[in-house]
Structure 1
């Protein structure tokens, strides 16, 4: 059953593929190689990419020789993914109900998809269902509290005195979980995954103030709905605060350098015998990956 949060997410992403790909999509692409490594994606792997967006994960998996299936709840995103990854099977589908038989895939991945579902535990149960025993699941989520670069747009909204509107609900407290290493790993263990773990990923996203503002100004994602939801006057007030705050992160050549932090959580579906787990492949206790 869809929640109010799910319905809000559908509205937030409707028709946004082009604007997303030009801004936030580049940001999210940083984590793709480590996501695929955690899931053990290699030549011949039957991999499902859930919440594919414009297809960056599916394309990278295909480049490894994997047999790729990808889904997204937003038709505009699915169309863009089909264009980018012609060898992949791309469908419109949304968690927590996927149109696949039990144990269909060797590996299932989701790049930030758990940030956009109203029932994360039900979503994980569905990912486990479609992944074979011994198969791997790997997911990225944004860490909380957010890194300074990730917090920039939210700071601009607050500085402008704008509150989150009621038509953009937050995740229900009973469905939420700690966005920490322990919280994400515990979520996967609670879903019945074995050899579950989590590691932080940190990097600097290099962009420009104009590019970073373009997504919210176009209404992309929850932040975009907040920016645009009260009309152009309020949007301009937020933009002015953004321009002031962005100076903290702007280099002399005009490059905006935004520190970001995410979590990479991984685990294995029980029943795989002595197969190596994702934690062993990653070196689960070796700390985070820093791309700066």
Structure 2
């Protein structure tokens, strides 16, 4: 197999590029802390240790790359958004940080001992092709480990979507959903099957559950800035509708606010890993 083949980007991929353009700082200030939670377990699942040649795909602000560097690994990190790479390079100065995107990566077959993708599969239009590519660049016997969000979403993850729905907002046409033929069940079995179909062996998939603690101001700042699909749905509305969404968000947030005014949001994700 070769990673140099030309692949047509899907409408979903193109939408993701537009949605994330210039959003590194807003993401770092809102959702990055949430997405950092699985990183230690993800690196453990990929058997990342001193001297391991690691590829972090969809590195974002570089959380996994920095953690792998702290373990003494030899880290390469890629992302499709240049702004993310600026932050990743600061977070992991010893890593080789490059601009690249799934489903084709600029690396040779079997180049890495371990490949990790923290929520990157949520942002690609061809998840099966993406996983085949992750396996391709993992050496025989090396490990590939990924995370995705569960569907249906946990209560905390669903909060912003509930506020949007309460305002009567539906997904606009310029934000296409994943094509039905490319989608898969966001369950332990569904993700495990995806890894096996990509050629990985000894696949294990489990569910992670945790409470993310934040504030209403911080949590609203992400969608208010247009971060991720939920943010694009919010910012594409008229100001009066945005204000209505925010009002619903503040009202619904009361379910999760404690005496100290901290917002405690239950989240669940899937973590799967296998051997190349």
Common topology (TM > 0.5): yes
For residue 77 of structure 2, what is the aligned residue in structure 1? 70
Say if 2:168 is the partner of 1:124. Answer: no
Cα distance in 2 for partners of 1:156, 1:56 equals 29
For residue 133 of structure 1, what is the aligned residue in structure 2? 140
Deviations along 1:114-137, one digit per CA (max 9) or x if unpaired, are 000000000011111111001100
For residue 208 of structure 1, what is the aligned residue in structure 2? 215
1:222-241 mapped onto 2 (5 Å cutoff) = 222-241=229-248
Say if 2:64 is the partner of 1:57. Answer: yes
Deviations along 1:52-105, one digit per CA (max 9) or x if unpaired, are 000000000000000000000000001110111110000010001100011100
- TM-score for both structures, normalised by structure 2: 0.97
Cα distance in 2 for partners of 1:155, 1:245 equals 8
Say if 2:180 is the partner of 1:166. Answer: no
Say if 2:33 is the partner of 1:33. Answer: no
Question: Which consecutive segments of 4 or more residues in structure 1 shift more than 2 A?
Answer: none
Cα distance in 2 for partners of 1:110, 1:25 equals 14
For residue 117 of structure 2, what is the aligned residue in structure 1? 110
Say if 2:275 is the partner of 1:268. Answer: yes
Cα distance in 2 for partners of 1:161, 1:267 equals 42
For residue 252 of structure 2, what is the aligned residue in structure 1? 245
Cα distance in 1 for partners of 2:14, 2:111 equals 28
Cα distance in 2 for partners of 1:67, 1:192 equals 25
Alignment match of 2:10 (pick from 3, 8, 14): 3
Cα distance in 2 for partners of 1:192, 1:88 equals 28
Deviation at 1:232, TM superposition (A): 1.9
Q: How many residues align?
A: 269
In the alignment, structure 2 segments of 5+ residues that lack a partner are 1-7
Cα distance in 1 for partners of 2:204, 2:239 equals 44
SS in 2 for 1:23: coil
Deviations along 1:166-209, one digit per CA (max 9) or x if unpaired, are 10011001000000011110110111110012000000000000
In the alignment, structure 1 segments of 5+ residues that lack a partner are 270-292
SS in 1 for 2:54: strand
For residue 259 of structure 1, what is the aligned residue in structure 2? 266
SS in 1 for 2:48: coil
Cα distance in 2 for partners of 1:88, 1:236 equals 42
SS in 1 for 2:253: helix
For residue 105 of structure 2, what is the aligned residue in structure 1? 98
RMSD: 0.6
Deviation at 1:19, TM superposition (A): 0.8
For residue 3 of structure 2, what is the aligned residue in structure 1? none
SS in 1 for 2:37: helix
Say if 2:212 is the partner of 1:193. Answer: no
Deviation at 1:237, TM superposition (A): 1.0
